[in-house]
Amino acid sequence: MKKIHITLFSVISLLFVTSCDDYLHKDPIGLLTPDNVNTNPTLTSVQYSVNSTYQMLASTLNLLGDWAWDDGTVTRNDFVVYDLASDDALKKWNPDGDQPWMDEIQNYSYIASNTAFNGFWSYQYEGVSRANLALSYLMDDKIIEAVGMDASLRKRLLGETYFLRAFYYFDLVTNFGDVPFLIAPIKDFEDAYKVSERTDKEIVWEQIMNDLEDAKGNLPLTKFSSESEPWRVSLGAVLAMQAKVALYRKDYLGVLSAIKELEDKGFYRLNSNYFDSFSQYHEFTDNEVIFAYDHKEKMTPAQGNGLCALLGWGFFAPSKSFIKEFEPNDPRLNLTVDVEKQLVYKILGDLSNKNQGYDDAPSNKVYIRYADVMLWKAEALIETGKVSDAIDIINEVRERARNTVGVDGETKAPAGTLPDRDRLGSKEQAWEWLIHERRVELGLESHRFRDLKRWGIAKEVLNANGQAFTDRNYLFPIPQKDIDKSGGKLIQNPGY
């Protein structure tokens, strides 16, 4: 059974550039092209097809290309398109002319050819494409029988891969709107032509929800899908993602339903100490992290957190606005960044400079943790009129924060720090408290920008911060490279 695995951005190159050499130059790691199609998959290759689908969630350097700054693919650049685009972060501690395309994201002077969007788009579609290949193997009874895969393993891997495809499409649809839609490997040029144009976002949303439901039905009813590999997608991750999808679609009853199901499992709770979610010494032993990418050092090929290298070059600093947001003595500020030493602890995974400049650092990338889910629930409760219950949740998050130990591992905040909010506060007050709490609790975790957009306040907030956000910026532009190569089949978002 011959299947050709080609990602969307490669498909468009195949169709519309004249030189075959251009297409074959520096294929991404893990990309199977018509010249190296796996016609006889083995048990190992089927399992690898799933494992490689995770890879596009990594912050490892040069997964796509070789120091391809001009393509925006040196690393997964969530910190650029989410954190720099918000009012939380600056490109560097000391401004300079390095990588000016990042400055354009921050000050909203970018155009569709900005490499940030090409890189972001490439990572998501490479992830989708790998998921499609893995699913094509796992759903083929003849292949599964031929490789001798156990039925329970097959079921679990299906659940993981459905989740991952939904996760990548969530990033695409929430940032670009209507997007090209692939749910099977590209087999020929006819297929390629069909997917080189955009599909209504509602169809994509429906696929995301269907994939998550399929994932839910295939994963074991345990905290970890695999005790020996706790980094894998779990049932908890699926339930949390279902809640997040409902939140973005303003289905607040759906949010509460999914979170109740997650709570009933009893898998997660807030860690006693705030930084345990990010510490490289507590990975997969803490109580709060629901889904994270497992960076590992000294592996071949590399699997480390390459963002730590960028931190060593002075990238990624908190904004004055972000620092000012914290209330007096809030321990979360110093556990997030050390302004004097110019360290971003949440990325480093260690409350020192140990990993700064280390491109193979083992610090994980946390995508979903329970505090985030709790604040989704608070938001849904506010929207459904249960304001006091929402404030109780906000206070629970604040209680953990004021009782956590500081950078020295011992000292706690002085009495009176982060007092409880009045549970009889109004809906308007509760909203202000929620917006504040999400910013300080989840700071520099790549949530703020999409929060501002889905709340409809991005223009107001970012303009007040001196950033020239306009209505067009609620969606990213489709990468100009893909628009050009499609010969007009891909239609640009309005205003670009």
Residue ranges and CATH numbers for the domains of the chain are 1-218 (1.25.40.390)
Q: How far is CA 248 from the centre of its chain?
A: 15
Short-list 384, 385, 372, CA closest to 434: 372
CB 46 within 8 Å of CB 230: no
Short-list 79, 114, 84, 78, CA closest to 467: 84
Q: How far apart are CA 168 and CA 211, in angstroms?
A: 11
DSSP 68: -
Q: How far apart are CA 348 and CA 361, in angstroms?
A: 8
443-493 pLDDT, tens per residue?
A: 999 999 999 999 999 999 999 999 999 999 999 999 999 999 888 889 999
421-432 pLDDT, tens per residue?
A: 999 999 999 999
Peptide bond between residue 301 and the one before it cis (omega within 30 degrees of 0)? yes
Short-list 11, 428, 424, 343, CA closest to 182: 11
162-175 pLDDT, tens per residue?
A: 999 999 999 999 99
Short-list 129, 197, 116, CA closest to 164: 129
Average pLDDT along the chain = 92
Q: Report pTM.
A: 0.93
CB 88 within 8 Å of CB 443: yes
Q: Provide the pLDDT for residue 37.
A: 40
Q: Provide the pLDDT for residue 486.
A: 87
Q: Would you give the end-to-end CA distance of the chain in angstroms?
A: 42
Taking 80 as the threshold, does the pLDDT of residue 223 lie above it? Answer: yes
Q: How far apart are CA 200 and CA 428, in angstroms?
A: 34
Q: How far apart are CA 253 and CA 454, in angstroms?
A: 17
Q: Which two tokens stand for residue 224?
A: 């970890």
Short-list 110, 163, 109, CA closest to 134: 163
| Residue 400: C-alpha distances to residues 261, 352, 389, 396 (Å) | 23, 22, 17, 6
Short-list 125, 13, 167, CA closest to 481: 13
248-302 pLDDT, tens per residue?
A: 999 999 999 999 999 999 999 999 999 999 999 999 999 999 999 999 999 999 9
Q: How many CA atoms lie less than 13 Å away from 451 in the CB half-sphere?
A: 24
316-334 pLDDT, tens per residue?
A: 999 999 999 999 999 999 9
Q: Provide the pLDDT for residue 63.
A: 97
Q: Which two tokens stand for residue 234?
A: 């779990």
Q: How far apart are CA 308 and CA 316, in angstroms?
A: 10
Q: How far apart are CA 296 and CA 307, in angstroms?
A: 13
Three-state SS annotation for 199-259: ECHHHHHHHHHHHHHHHHHHCCCCCCCCCCCCCCCCHHHHHHHHHHHHHHCCCHHHHHHHH
Q: How far apart are CA 336 and CA 349, in angstroms?
A: 10
155-212 pLDDT, tens per residue?
A: 999 999 999 999 999 999 999 999 999 999 987 666 666 678 999 999 999 999 999 9
- One-character DSSP codes across 276-291: GGT-TTSTTTSSSEEE
